[in-house]
Amino acid sequence: MDVLTFLVLILGLAYSLYIYSRSGKQADTVRIPPGPKPLPLIGNIFDLTAKELWVKATSLAQTYGPIFQLSILHPSLPISQPLIFLSSPEVCFDLLDKKGGIYADKPKLVMAGELCGCDNMVAFTGYGSQSRRQRKLLGMALSKEKIPAYQGLIERETAGFLTGLLSAHSSSASSSTVSLPSKSTLPSRFLAYIPLIRRYAGQLTLSVIYGYTVPTSYTQNVHDKFLDMAEDCLDILSNGIASGGGIWLVDIFPWLKKAPKSFEFLPLFSFLPKSRAWKAKMIEFVEKPFEWVKAEMQKGTHKPSFCSTLLDNPDAVVPSAETNRFTRRQSDISPELLSSWASVSSNVVKPTSSNAKGYAQFEFDLKWTANSMYSASGDTTVTSVMHYFLALLQDADSGGEVVRKARMELDLVTGLADDSPSTIKPRLPSLSDRYIDVDVPDGKGGTRRVKKPRFPYVEAVMSEVWRWGVVVPLNLPHRLTQDDVYTPPPSPSDPHPTPVLLRKGSLIFGNIWSILRSHELFGDDVDDFRPERYLLSTHEDDVLYGSHDHSHDEDEYEMIRRERRKRDPRSYVFGFGRRQCPGQNLVESSVWLLTATLLSTVDVRRPCVEGEDGKERVVRENVNFNNSVFRTPDPFGVDIRPRSEKALEVIMLAGESEEAESL
């Protein structure tokens, strides 16, 4: 170290210590949100953990209240980055929903965005015209009323997933073993469910977005170009780019990116070659499926999809082969939805070819939006289904009450109980089974039709999977675009809260984990998987769905609805405000069907393996959560078997028609 560098460091440290000694006084006047005292220079870096930061943030919220701040580098330094954690529903809604306009931006991350090429993915796009255009496209594919158009596809893929599961379980693949992070090994059949869910989630979006069908069935374990690409890139995104919370040194000191190539052998600069390799992969992931759609369109062999329908227009730059009209393969999407996209496309969305710049912009938006749907569905769906299996393993340990109660409801429709009446033809559940229409008084002497869940306990299981698992526990960070002063609501621990100043540029984390583990909302047994917590009392059921006219107790009706919304995990797990998850309607349907089908047809147990002494032993694994963005469990084994011969027959039959349909 030369003398000059040494002097600069000493002066920097002295300045920080000076500011640090005054920071208590400053806090009185500036009133930034409370939080653990930042250290000189480095701020709260030691309060941040790469693993399960949501747990640490929840315990800090118990000390500092529902809104607290940590800083990367000391807040007195101009380059310090405030991180603000919101830990109650009221605070999240007050800021992220009600003041959504200033809380909808995204952090400008040099590493993830500029260096790794993710800045045009929807979840990374700053709030402005581009994000609004992208979200409009997302709404066209994924808004609530569009989901019934995917019913056939969802049901087909669910059946395929199930046949894949059973075939993996019964195959002699038991001889090959897989190493687990815990250093133990398990026969691969106990882990086969993980690539199968990934394939299931990938196939759903690949079909809707690109019209691509994986050419092999779920029972064949063959690699596929687009699924493998997604696998690699999602791994890069969540275990590479977002490792350690997604904030790299270069995000704080952007000039590091200009380091000469000759510095790259130093560990400090190893991010540079990494980012180049990752960017190349990410760009390929965006371009290749889109190019594939266009090539298929030119040949006239495409299956109508979101991309092809929006591209397919006489004005389009991409030639639309006349023969398409006759040779197109049947789409997985309903004709009504396809024609609605086609009309929106020609009227509103797409500029004409005479406006080449505008069209290039449209194509660019479409390409990145399509990829964002594909990449956002993988880890999230896999994580939710893993949470389901974790919960059912616990249920099996304690006697299987959850499964028993769920089957009592489902068997009435599917006829899959051993003693189901022979008048009910055994079958898998379908999405049309989920609700029944009931007529309730409209308070004006007439009636109105509402949808009532047909299987309240199965609904409760699904709600509890969302709450207990918490797929994205700290939400994705939003960025505040202007200074904001906010007074949190009074609480028993702070009856007279004082206003706090949230600085422009702060990153805002909605701590979904702390909300869904709140004793106030869910009781003292928040760590238990207990679907019963959502069941309606007879009185509540009567007020919401009964035929008795409750117009004179309108307040009670509203109060029950409000309370249920507040305790519904769906109000939180998909994020907040203008960046709320656009895929929630699709997963609400697809995960529901997967849950109902698994509950109806298969038994779930802990794996049993032969020990060195030749005796069978049950494998109990400690499950860890090492991903810093998604609460994805490290792989754990599950023994999945058909519940009965009858269930097996129904699954195989559904699997055969799935294969026939996808050909």
Min CB(107)–ligand HEM separation in Å? 11
Examine residue 574 and tell whether it contacts ligand HEM (CB under 6 A): yes
Min CB(380)–ligand HEM separation in Å? 3
Q: Which residues contact 38 (CB under 8 A, 6 or more apart)?
A: 20, 23, 44, 70, 71, 74, 75
Examine residue 238 and tell whether it contacts ligand HEM (CB under 6 A): no
Closer CB to ligand HEM, residue 187 or residue 577? 577
Nearest alpha-carbon partner for 272 in 251, 256, 253: 256
Q: Which of 205, 305, 320, 628 binds ligand HEM (CB under 6 A)?
A: 205
Helix locations, 398-455, DSSP H: 401-414
Q: How many residues in the shown chain lie near ligand HEM by CB under 6 A?
A: 28
Q: Are 427 and 638 in contact (CB under 8 A)?
A: no
Closer CB to ligand HEM, residue 69 or residue 384? 384
Closer CB to ligand HEM, residue 362 or residue 574? 574
Q: What is the 3-state secondary structure (H, E, C) of 530-587?
A: CHHHHCCCHHHHHHHHCCCCCHHHHHHHHHHHHHHHHCCCHHHHCCCHHHCCCCHHHH
Closer CB to ligand HEM, residue 128 or residue 273? 128
Q: Which residues contact 605 (CB under 8 A, 6 or more apart)?
A: 393, 396, 638, 639, 641
- Provide the β-strand partners of residue 81: 72
Closer CB to ligand HEM, residue 534 or residue 574? 574
Nearest alpha-carbon partner for 55 in 582, 652, 511: 511
Two tokens, residue 258? 């200009």
Two tokens, residue 490? 């009074």
> What track of x and - describes contact with ligand HEM for positions 587 through 626 (by CB under 6 A)?
x---------------------------------------
Please choose, out of 190-198, 248-256, 574-582, 632-640, the segment that lies near ligand HEM by the rule CB under 6 A.
Answer: 574-582
Nearest alpha-carbon partner for 69 in 33, 96, 20, 40: 33
Q: Which of 67, 116, 256, 376 binds ligand HEM (CB under 6 A)?
A: 376
- Report the Cα 66 to chain-centroid distance in Å: 24
Min CB(529)–ligand HEM separation in Å? 17
Examine residue 581 and tell whether it contacts ligand HEM (CB under 6 A): yes
Closer CB to ligand HEM, residue 301 or residue 580? 580
Min CB(512)–ligand HEM separation in Å? 7
Examine residue 246 and tell whether it contacts ligand HEM (CB under 6 A): no
Q: Which of 35, 202, 582, 633 binds ligand HEM (CB under 6 A)?
A: 582
> What track of x and - describes contact with ligand HEM for positions 247 through 286 (by CB under 6 A)?
----------------------------------------
Q: Are 134 and 368 in contact (CB under 8 A)?
A: yes
Classify strands 447-453 and 435-441 as parallel, antiparallel or unpaired. antiparallel
Q: Which of residues 113-142 bind ligand HEM (CB under 6 A)?
A: 122-123, 135, 142
- Provide the β-strand partners of residue 605: 639
**No. of H helices and E strands in the chain?**
22, 14
Examine residue 579 and tell whether it contacts ligand HEM (CB under 6 A): yes
Examine residue 583 and tell whether it contacts ligand HEM (CB under 6 A): yes
Min CB(148)–ligand HEM separation in Å? 16
Question: CA 416, 657, 649: angle at the middle one, nearest 5?
Answer: 30
Min CB(586)–ligand HEM separation in Å? 5
Q: Which of 154, 586, 593, 647 binds ligand HEM (CB under 6 A)?
A: 586
Closer CB to ligand HEM, residue 186 or residue 472? 472
Q: Which residues contact 636 (CB under 8 A, 6 or more apart)?
A: 180, 386, 389, 390, 621, 623
Rounded CA-CA distance 487/94 in Å is 10
Min CB(270)–ligand HEM separation in Å? 29
Min CB(141)–ligand HEM separation in Å? 8
Through-space distance between the first and last CA atoms of the chain, rounded to whole angstroms: 68
Closer CB to ligand HEM, residue 80 or residue 207? 207
Q: Are 317 and 291 in contact (CB under 8 A)?
A: no
Please choose, out of 241-249, 286-294, 545-553, 575-583, the segment that lies near ligand HEM by the rule CB under 6 A.
Answer: 575-583
116 known member of a binding site? no
Rounded CA-CA distance 270/472 in Å is 28
Examine residue 177 and tell whether it contacts ligand HEM (CB under 6 A): no
> What track of x and - describes contact with ligand HEM for positions 463 through 502 (by CB under 6 A)?
--------xx--xx-x------------------------
Min CB(209)–ligand HEM separation in Å? 8
Q: Which of 573, 593, 594, 604 binds ligand HEM (CB under 6 A)?
A: 573
Report the phi/psi class of residue 255: left, alpha or beta, with left for phi > 0 and alpha for psi in -120 to 50: alpha
- Provide the β-strand partners of residue 642: 602
Rounded CA-CA distance 483/30 in Å is 12
> Which residues would be at the binding site for ligand HEM (CB under 6 A)?
122-123, 135, 142, 205, 372-373, 376-377, 380-381, 384, 471-472, 475-476, 478, 573-576, 579-583, 586-587
Please state the residue numbers annotated as binding site. Answer: 581
Binding site for heme: what residues are annotated?
581
